[in-house]
Structure 1
Amino acid sequence: MLAMMAGFCVEQGADPAACAEPILTAVRETLTDALEFARRWRAADADAELPEPDEQAVDDAMLSRLGGEHYEALRLALAWCSLDQWQPPALAVLCRSVPVRRAAAGTAELTALVRAVAELGAHDLKCLAYALEVLDDEPLVVLHRPSGTGFELRIGGIGDNFQLHTLLAHALIGGGHLPGQAPDARIVALSLDAPFAPDADLGGLHAEGPFNLVAPDGSWIWNEGNPADIPVVDGRRLLVLDPLPYRRGWNAGRFFPMMTASIAVTRVLPPEETQAWFGHVAPPKGFGAAATQAQSSS
């Protein structure tokens, strides 16, 4: 409850750094206890179904199954059942402070704990996982296969690849570097830092993707993922833009409405450097190969 109150204060403008350490420390401890709860629950039967995280379900039978000292068993059970309530205050401090995100990402422990608990399937921790994986002031090399051009960008505060896709179109098409239809200025604003209400009436406004985001090995970088999915090659995240296999559209906005984003083209790569980066890229496959050939011919 105290963490919820602190998170609310942050949402109203309080300094996120002032309470980030105790909140994220408690989140780390709760995740650790939740994993221990699952381990003990399945000690006698590795395939045993884990209970729903409901505090009303904490009873003597549950504590007896966990074993050990009563207070410790109670702590583990409450951690399992209250974990979802820790996400809002954690997101409050992570979404509103780049230094807090950097400090949290400085050790991989918290992210690893979130992933381990999420894999158990009883808690939806996607928002927390994505917040911990947000890239800030991150260099990104982008290769546009149809034109054979390359760019170095710098990105920050982007919550998912729907948002990244929109902002790539803004920076590269809207910036005059690539042909195509740039996204509406209102969509760009919502993807960067404009105030946004999830239930706001946008009058049918939605974003569309002009590219297919591809990893150097040819696998797709799905819009449902986040920029941390983009592989690192020679010290830089390397992304390939291929032609669209089919039309795609999505709601305008940001995955984290309270997190502001940034994107900038820092450099147009010279041809020889672009070709060197293309040397790390597998040839297009399937539709991508046909579409790239068609665009090159036209």
Structure 2
Amino acid sequence: MIFGRRAFPGAVADFEKAVRAQDTKGAERAFSRLHRLAGKARADACREAGPRLAALLPEVPPGPRAAVAVVVGACVERGADALACAPGIFAGAREAFSAAAEFCERWARTGDDELPDLDDPLTDEIVERTGYELAVGWLTLPQWEMAGVAVLNARATRRMVEGKAELSALVERAAEASGHDFKCLTYALRVLDDEPLLVLHRPSGTGYALRMHGIGDNFQLHTLLAGVLIGGEHLPGEAPSAREIAVCRDAPGQVPTSGAFNLVGADGGWIFNEGSPSDIRVVDGARLLVLDPPPYRRGWPAGRFFPGMHGDLVLERVLGADEAATWLGKVAPSER
């Protein structure tokens, strides 16, 4: 039992020592052991290991660096400080996505065949066409995406300013160059916290000022809106169950639900459930969402796009009749 408690911290220490000594073979052996033990490590060992491994990332060569970042992400999921781990992961992810975008552009210039799949092995042909570091950047993107989402599950990390905007731009550039959407990381970087949301219910002419936190997609937002507005008896309709609301906030699992509204932007365009709350345009300083009757019955599994991210939607006040009418005067009819 004592050996079991000490095995993972010992592997972390051995890996640190080998990396700093530039002992490639020793680092490979230590990381193999570290990776094998990570899934069974105690939570207190993970809390200690996460920031130590994250700080070590710049010293790890590009090839194995992404695998180490995944272990850091796993430590965060077991309780390591996400904010302390985020800078190392963001820096590695920025480097990888920058290299990946250049990889895609160079690949296109050297032939007309499709890009290698992201789960393909690194081959001599790939390296010859683009160079080792660009190829590694491309092929490790799934690992960087996984690690990035792990730290972005924490609100404190999402509120970071330094490095996030640059990473978002690089992910977008790689997506444009490759045609791959990197949806998980893209959506995680777009999550809004402490964000005001002004909601107008067109059939009744009423309006509501809300605040949203940690909502990954509009399926989750839709269910929470119905819970607050219908469940709170502000609007007519069938409210989601307590369980449907719970899984959209912080409870595990998914349960079937159905749509209560059609979500529409101020310009009349539909706001699709598959999108994210960041798709809702800002009008006069507030994200403005219009609720119309659903054109047909739609169902989906209520839950969270990011199971490790807690979300919430809070009603702050009901707009007065004149205020609601003023805001409704600024929106266009639904396009459909």
Shift of 1:252: 2.0
* Equivalent in the alignment of 2:47: none
Instruction: Note if 1:171 corresponds to 2:228.
Output: yes
Shift of 1:123: 4.1
* Distance change (3 Å), C-alpha of 1:49 and 1:223: same
TM-score, structure 1 as length reference: 0.85
* Equivalent in the alignment of 1:56: 121
Alpha-carbon distance in 2 for matches of 1:146, 1:136:
29
On the 8 A contact 1:58/1:77 being kept in 2, the answer is no
Shift of 1:38: 1.3
Residue segments in structure 2 that go unaligned for 5+ positions in a row: 1-66
On the 8 A contact 2:164/2:189 being kept in 1, the answer is no
Q: Percent of pairs identical after alignment? A: 55
Residue segments in structure 1 that go unaligned for 5+ positions in a row: 67-72, 197-201, 287-298
Shift of 1:122: 5.8
Q: 2:142 aligns with which of 70, 79, 84?
A: 84
On the 8 A contact 1:91/1:131 being kept in 2, the answer is yes
Aligned pair count reads 270
* Distance change (3 Å), C-alpha of 1:54 and 1:183: closer
On the 8 A contact 1:212/1:243 being kept in 2, the answer is yes
Superposed CA deviations along residues 144-174 of structure 1, whole A, max 9, x for unmatched, are 0000000100001000000000000001111
Alpha-carbon distance in 2 for matches of 1:284, 1:64:
53
Instruction: Note if 1:206 corresponds to 2:256.
Output: yes
TM-score, structure 2 as length reference: 0.76
Superposed CA deviations along residues 11-32 of structure 1, whole A, max 9, x for unmatched, are 1111111211101110111000
On the 8 A contact 1:140/1:154 being kept in 2, the answer is yes
Shift of 1:107: 4.8
Q: CA RMSD in A?
A: 1.8
Q: 2:76 aligns with which of 10, 13, 28?
A: 10
> Does the residue aligned with 2:109 lie in a helix, a strand or coil?
coil
Shift of 1:261: 0.6
Alpha-carbon distance in 2 for matches of 1:62, 1:106:
30
Amino acid corresponding to residue 112 of structure 1 in structure 2: A
Shift of 1:44: 4.7
Alpha-carbon distance in 2 for matches of 1:253, 1:64:
45
* Equivalent in the alignment of 2:216: 159
The answer to which structure, 1 or 2, has the higher relative contact order (CA under 8 A, 6+ apart) is 1
Alpha-carbon distance in 1 for matches of 2:71, 2:163:
26
* Equivalent in the alignment of 1:183: 240
> Does the residue aligned with 2:317 lie in a helix, a strand or coil?
strand
